[in-house]
């Protein structure tokens, strides 16, 4: 296994887990806890928490994509729309059409 595949794969999975974990924290834990708090407490917490949370989620989602692209490139050998024999891979026709328009 290529060293680059290991590095890009590890970073891609790390940031994806952080991104999904943050989303689950927000939907499962925090939103349920807000029901037991007063509206003023929820508003104060949200005003302090959401700016930081938004930045972290933005960074993690961006880095998931940033490390996923070279991972895909490394794993396919740069042949995004071809099979191992160099022929056009029919499974990617929709992606090729959407990228060219």
Q: Residue 57: inside a domain, yes or no?
A: yes
Range of the domain at 8: 3-78
Total number of domains constituting the chain: 1
Residues 6+ apart with CB under 8 A from 75: 5
Cβ-contact 79, 27 below 8 angstroms: no
Per-residue tokens: 31: 């939103």
12 within some domain: yes
Residue range 12-33, pLDDT digits in tens: 999 999 999 999 999 999 988 9
| 31 within domain boundaries | yes
What's the CA gap between 69 and 61, in Å, rounded?
A: 13
Confidence of residue 77 (pLDDT cuts 50, 70, 90): confident
- Render pLDDT for 58-72 as a digit per residue (tens, 0 to 9): 999 999 999 998 888
| DSSP 8-class letter at 79 | -
Mean pLDDT of 30-38: 90
100 versus 54: the higher-pLDDT residue is 54
| 91 belongs to a structural domain | no
Residue 19 falls within a domain, yes or no? yes
> Does residue 101 register a pLDDT over 50?
no
* pTM exceeds cut of 0.85: no
Q: Is residue 96 a part of any domain in this protein?
A: no
Residue 94, in any domain of the structure: no
């Amino acid at each position: 296994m290529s060293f680059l595949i290991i590095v890009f794969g590890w970073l891609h999975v790390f940031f994806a887990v952080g991104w999904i974990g943050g989303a689950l924290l927000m939907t499962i834990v925090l939103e349920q806890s807000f029901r037991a708090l007063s509206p003023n407490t929820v508003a104060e917490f949200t005003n302090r928490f959401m700016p930081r949370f938004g930045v972290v989620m933005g960074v993690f989602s961006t880095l998931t994509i940033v490390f996923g692209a070279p991972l895909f490139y490394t794993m396919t050998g740069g042949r995004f729309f071809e099979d191992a024999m160099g022929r056009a891979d029919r499974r990617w026709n929709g992606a090729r059409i959407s990228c060219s328009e």
